[in-house]
Structure 1
Amino acid sequence: MNLVINESQPLWEYLRCAEKPVVLYGMGDGALKILAVCRQYGIPIAGIFASDEFVRGHSFEGYPVESLAQIEERLGDFIVLLCFGVDYDSMLERIAELSRRHETYAPDIPVFGSDLFTPEYFREHQAELEQVYGLLADDESRQIYADLLAYKLSGKLEYLYRHMGSREEDFGSILTPGPGSVYVDLGAYDGDTVEEFIRHCPDYGWIWALEPDPKNFRKLQAAAGELPRTTLVPKGSYSGEGELTFSARGGRNSALAESGKKLRPVELTSVDALLQGNRADYIKMDVEGVERETLLGCRETIARWKPQLSVAAYHRTGDLWELPLLVRKLGPDYRLYLRRHKYVPAWEIILYAI
């Protein structure tokens, strides 16, 4: 099986030569990162606009924040770069409608790290990317993989809108927890994925739920603190036990960090240390960029019990090849599946090992 990517012109090179002005849609961390890349490539930015409800006569990075109507009146036609993430239907439809009026892209910027998926990056890691493509267990996974790589090069929304699934759909078709299953939830947030698991496996054996962010952990306690056969742990997951600096943002994006706001020390543990040789049947990890380290902390559990795995594979540019290859190294008998859940840009990419 050959991996074919039908995109010859990378987004950043196209934008550098574009005749139409380039504008940003959105503010915040995403806009800061995209502005930095545009400056790196010498791409001039003609303006920034926001949804009408966020336009308050203020500025962002020296640009007045305009409405779409204002920027259309000023510029006419232009290229839009989407600078935020979204998963709810009304906003996804708004973005789709915008793309029918103006050329619109969602640049692929890593959540963590600075590597961009450029043609040079693709060539450097082509052997590993093709190896992973060959390891994927079904046609849907291979199509998602090829479309994701095409998206990462081009920023084209069409590749994202082709694949808008959900974990609910994955239960039963890929994930098959049965009565007595032991579930380990790494990055349990406010308990939503614990509740999701129980819906599909009401006769579970035990639940271990880890969440390092104090605000999120309080929500987790409120949602799951009274559940039977459940242990809640206010720690982060890693390759071993210890302590590292943590950025407590009170949302899904709380993460280990070296610098930034709201930094605090956080206790870490590994799945192997947590379980002490006991069984796990299903491990879900969405741990904000430390999936590799967390997998290494599961090596004994994987070798002994071969639990089903659900691994977030979108936080770092290398996740799409590094994580599948690591999973197969730890568990050579695993069958690998890739699914993408509803989100723009290319977040919520899930690697399943069964």
Structure 2
Amino acid sequence: MKTTSFPSLEAVGQVDLETVQRQGLLIFGYGSFAHDLAAAAQKNAIPVLGFVVSGVPPAARSALPVWQISQLPEAYKDKPLWVGVYNHLAHSDYPLIDQTCRAAGFAARFPQHYFEVVADALGWRYWLTPRADYAAHASDLRAAFDQLADEPSRQAMAQTLAFRLGQTLAAPLPDAGVVHYFPDFAVAACRARERGAQAFLDGGAYNGDTLEAALSQLPFQQTYAFEPDLGNYELLTQRTRQLGLSATNYPCGLSGRNEQLRFSTGQGEASAVKEDGDSIIQVVRLDDCLQNVTIDYLKLDVEGQEIPTLQGGRDLILKSRPILAIAAYHRWDDMWRIPAFVAALAFDYKLAYRSHSRNSFDGVFYAY
């Protein structure tokens, strides 16, 4: 059977800054990312001519015009077009957006193509990074790739890298029927533990949806959940009460130090630590918060704090040797830093990688 090879790390689809500064720019999309992109472009002396959408133009949210792409004035049809759609939802199907743009005569550029031009103004945007970073860490990424224990993992990681480097617009799609954070191999490994499946730790518990999914897969007797957004936390406590869990819920976040950080609230599952956040939250180290506790399954989706959280929970992990399910899409370098952390534990963990959503969002490393 042919196995997937480590991919080329060549960035494809570079943007010519001088051209867009001279000609101006159209932005496909009209959501929050599209408007943030417009502001970032203008900070980089790129004139923004307006927004285009595939359907009926929505109500105005800015002074810039918005057109249906099929009704764009002739004078704008030779202008550069950047896609300002960046999420994992159904409307962000990049191959379909590309078809729509090509049918209208545009060779659109997508976020991974232009991010290096506006990175300073856009700031942290999950996995986006200047793509030269990948080549600069080729040996780290190769080591991570070589750790993977199965062919589906190698395929998914290779396709994720190709997508983020602009080599393809087709990111890996989720496996049908796989429960997010609970693929069959990880569930089986937890069942086979000497203690079975007794304790589950949910870092970034949101509204308790992952806790409910966990109980549908494994008979956990005790759960520990951390959720710093107080709106989400209220929903979490309601759900654990309804589920009748033996649950310990913490209204705080996780990191590598015990400290207070600025936090952006009200973003649902995407609420995150940000320097300009509208509130202040407490974050804690797992090793300080859960002393004398054993964990059987540890899930982390903590909006970019995965590596600090793992470091702050190293003693807990060394003692418990839990199944690990760690989100790998918030920071581009989590693609190698998470595998490197797992390798440094010097356990006999097998490492797997799966993608659970569109556009390489919800990628997860599993150690089992």
Cα displacement string for residues 149-189 of structure 1 (whole angstroms, at most 9, x for unaligned residues): 2211217422x1x4333751752133433354310001010
User: Normalising to structure 2: TM-score of the pair?
Assistant: 0.80
Q: Within 5 A, what are the aligned runs for 1:48-197? A: 48-50=51-53, 52=55, 55-59=58-62, 63-71=64-72, 75-76=76-77, 80-89=81-90, 91=91, 96-102=95-101, 103-108=107-112, 112=124, 117-154=129-166, 156-158=168-170, 160=171, 162-165=172-175, 167-168=178-179, 170-176=182-188, 177-178=190-191, 179-197=196-214
The 1-side partners of 2:128 and 2:87 are apart by: 21
Check whether the contact 2:126–2:329 (CA below 8 A) recurs between aligned residues: no
Q: Which moved more, 1:219-228 or 1:5-14?
A: 5-14
**How many residues align structurally?**
344
Aligned positions of 1:1-354 closer than 5 A: 3-5=6-8, 7=10, 9-12=12-15, 23-32=26-35, 34-35=37-38, 45-50=48-53, 52=55, 55-59=58-62, 63-71=64-72, 75-76=76-77, 80-89=81-90, 91=91, 96-102=95-101, 103-108=107-112, 112=124, 117-154=129-166, 156-158=168-170, 160=171, 162-165=172-175, 167-168=178-179, 170-176=182-188, 177-178=190-191, 179-201=196-218, 203-226=219-242, 227-260=244-277, 262=278, 264-344=279-359, 346-354=360-368
Shift in CA distance, 257/195, structure 1 to aligned 2, threshold 3 Å? same
Paired with 1:350 and 1:51, the residues of 2 have a C-alpha distance of 32
Name the CA shift for 1:233/1:135 in 2 (closer, same or farther; >3 Å).
same
2:11–2:132: 8 Å Cα contact kept in structure 1?
no
C-alpha contact 1:10 1:118 (8 A) present in aligned 2: no
Task: Supply the distance in 2 between the matched residues of 1:306 and 1:329 (Cα, whole angstroms).
Answer: 13
Deviation of residue 36 (structure 1)? 6.5
- Aligned residues of 1:187 and 1:209 also touching (Cα < 8 A): yes
Offset, 1:332: 4.0
Structure 2 counterpart SS, 1:334: coil
Deviation at 1:301, TM superposition (A): 1.3
- Between stretches 42-51 and 239-248, larger displacement belongs to 42-51
Q: Quick one: percent identity of the two aligned structures?
A: 26
Structure 2 distance, partners of 1:38, 1:250, is: 24
* CA distance in 1: counterparts of 2:198 and 2:57, whole angstroms: 46
Q: Which amino acid aligns with 1:107?
A: P
Distance 1:78 1:245 in 2: 40
> CA offset at residue 31 of structure 1?
2.6
Q: Report the secondary structure of 2:268's partner residue.
A: coil
TM superposition score normalised by structure 1: 0.83
* Structure-2 separation of matches of 1:44 and 1:130: 40
Give the Cα separation in 1 of the matches to 2:262 and 2:231: 16
Seen in structure 2, the aligned counterparts of structure 1 residues 121 and 87 have a Cα distance that, compared at 3 Å, is: closer
Report the AA paired with residue 265 of structure 2: A
Residues 49 and 65 in structure 2, CA contact (< 8 A), matched pair in contact too: no
Shift of 1:34: 4.0
Partner amino acid, structure 1, of 2:145: Y
8 Å contact 1:180–1:206 — kept in the other structure? no
- Any unmatched runs of 5+ in structure 1? none
- Which ranges of structure 2 fall in alignment gaps of 5 or more residues? 102-106
- Cα distance 1:175–1:24, how it changes in 2: closer, same or farther (>3 A)? farther
1:41 CA drift (Å): 8.1
Q: Does structure 2 retain, via aligned residues, the 8 Å contact 1:117–1:153?
A: no
How far residue 222 of structure 1 moved from its aligned partner, in angstroms, is 1.7
Equivalent residue of 2:149, what SS?
A: coil
Partner residue, 2:104:
none
CA contact (8 A) 1:58 1:65 kept: no
What is the DSSP-based 3-state SS (H/G/I as helix, E as strand, rest coil) of the residue aligned with 2:205? coil
Distance 1:12 1:350, change over 3 A: farther
Q: Distance in 2 between matches of 1:222 and 1:295?
A: 28
CA contact (8 A) 1:285 1:312 kept: yes
Larger mean CA deviation between 206-215 and 80-89 belongs to 80-89
Deviation at 1:265, TM superposition (A): 2.0
Does the 8 Å contact 1:308/1:353 carry over to 2? yes
SS in 1 for 2:157: helix
Taking the aligned partners of 1:149 and 1:249, their CA distance within structure 2 comes to 31
Displacement of 1:118 after TM fit?
A: 4.1
CA distance in 2, matches of 1:36, 1:153: 24
- Superposition deviation, residue 124 in structure 1: 1.5
Q: Which amino acid aligns with 2:65?
A: P
Question: Closer, same or farther in 2 for the Cα pair 1:13/1:324, shift >3 Å?
Answer: farther
Q: Give the distance between the partners of 2:41 and 2:141, measured in 1 at CA.
A: 27
